[in-house]
Amino acid sequence: MRRWDLLGLSLGALAGLTLAGGSALARRVFPRDGTLDFLALRHERVVGRQRLCFSRKTGDFTVRRGLEIAFERSGIPVYRFLHQSQDTWADG
């Protein structure tokens, strides 16, 4: 299985556990500082980073996601991907 597939499965599993198990499970699964950081690798080289930020406010559970990937050839960027999103679950 490729690393991207594993990353996607891991993130999906964490979100699924939170939705299915409620706040008690979320407190055990997610880090105390509220963030998870991942490295994106290609041929054993870091080509990007992803950060997930978790927060709770008045019964809502929010996950903010930031992803940045860049490929360079001879120090010149040839591809760059940026993605930001936010998901909020009400009363979750």
More confident residue, 60 or 14: 60
Neighbours of 11 (CB within 10 A): 16
What's the confidence (pLDDT) of residue 72?
86
Residue 22: predicted pLDDT? 53
Token pair recorded at residue 52: 């997930």
Instruction: Please state the domain count of the chain.
Output: 1
- The predicted structure's pLDDT at residue 80: 92
What range defines the domain where residue 75 resides?
3-89
Which of helix, strand or coil describes residue 24? Answer: helix
Residue 34: phi, psi to the nearest 5?
A: 85, 10
- Residue 28 makes CB contacts below 8 A (sequence gap 6+) with none
The 10s digit of each residue's pLDDT in 15-72 is 554 444 455 555 566 677 889 999 999 888 899 999 999 988 888 888 999 999 998 8
